[in-house]
Amino acid sequence: MDAHIARMARPSNREKILASGLEVVHAHGFAGASVRDIVQAAGVPQGSFTNHFGSKEAFGLEIIDRYCESGRDIVAETLLDDTRSPLARLAEFIDRGKEKLACNEMRDGCLLGNLAAEASHDSEPMREKLDAAFADIAGSIAYCLKAAVEAGEVPRDLDVEGTAAYIVASVQGANLLAKIRRDPAPVDRFKTILFEKVLR
């Protein structure tokens, strides 16, 4: 029985490929991460990849979902937390994103932004998946901004949807510059301008 439980607790080859493959793609890019690189990082036979994924594109779609899932806790704890000041929640959301970038000295950037720049041209399903992911983030930011309007923290005539879209686009640009410079300053600069100029 104990051996059965131990087997059940072991990650499957599919899980190993997704977990390790996400890290490989994040570090080296989608095109730069070969199937061989992915299975070697996962420590599984190369045939395991084709057993679990119909194509590299299918694998890419799943790692987008996985990356988004890992960010949903941050969104729930910040943007969607109705017990706290809306602008404080938005500020923490930006800070938590910056902390994720800093995990590897800003080298990897945001996986969604990386894939949007690299893979969306060649894969329509990945482009659509990324577009939906960014729209979901913008929707959560808009929810937080609406709460800020209702709380009197921002002007009542604030274009909530437009500002949310602007924040998503600006954060992605700041993330890219932070990756290039190995420095969080672009994210900090955006945050300062957002709160001191745009939302005041």
* pLDDT tens-digit map of 77-114: 999 999 999 999 999 999 999 998 888 777 889 999 99
117 burial level (CB within 10 Å; 0-12, 13-18, 19+): middle
Predicted confidence (pLDDT) per residue in 20-56, tens digit: 999 999 999 999 999 999 999 999 998 999 999 999 9
pTM of the model: 0.91
- Shared domain for 90 and 146, answered yes or no, is yes
pLDDT band at 9 (very low <50, low <70, confident <90, very high): low
Predicted local distance difference test score (pLDDT) of residue 168: 98
Distance CA 36, CA 59 (A): 13
Reply yes or no on whether the pLDDT at 199 is more than 60: yes
- Shared domain for 65 and 49, answered yes or no, is no
- Shared domain for 114 and 20, answered yes or no, is no
- Shared domain for 74 and 126, answered yes or no, is yes
Cβ-contact 140, 165 below 8 angstroms: no
Domain CATH code at residue 161 = 1.10.357.10
- Shared domain for 129 and 84, answered yes or no, is yes
Q: What are phi and psi of 78, to 5 degrees?
A: -120, -85
Domain span at residue 47?
1-53
Domain count for the chain, please give it: 2
Q: Where are the alpha helices (DSSP H) in the chain?
A: 2-9, 13-28, 35-42, 47-52, 56-77, 86-101, 111-118, 124-150, 160-181, 185-193
pLDDT band at 2 (very low <50, low <70, confident <90, very high): low
- Shared domain for 25 and 100, answered yes or no, is no
Distance CA 175, CA 178 (A): 5
Cβ-contact 141, 79 below 8 angstroms: yes
Predicted confidence (pLDDT) per residue in 114-167, tens digit: 999 987 788 999 999 999 999 999 999 999 999 999 999 999 999 999 999 999
88 burial level (CB within 10 Å; 0-12, 13-18, 19+): middle
Domain CATH code at residue 28 = 1.10.10.60
Token pair for residue 50?
A: 């084709």
What are the distances in angstroms from CA 153 to CA 36, 81, 105, 144? 52, 16, 34, 11
Token pair for residue 51?
A: 């057993």
Predicted confidence (pLDDT) per residue in 56-72, tens digit: 999 999 999 999 998 99
The angle formed by the CA atoms of residues 84, 88 and 93, to the nearest 5 degrees, is: 105
pLDDT band at 11 (very low <50, low <70, confident <90, very high): confident
Question: Of the candidates 38, 53, 68, which is a domain's last residue?
Answer: 53
- Shared domain for 6 and 78, answered yes or no, is no
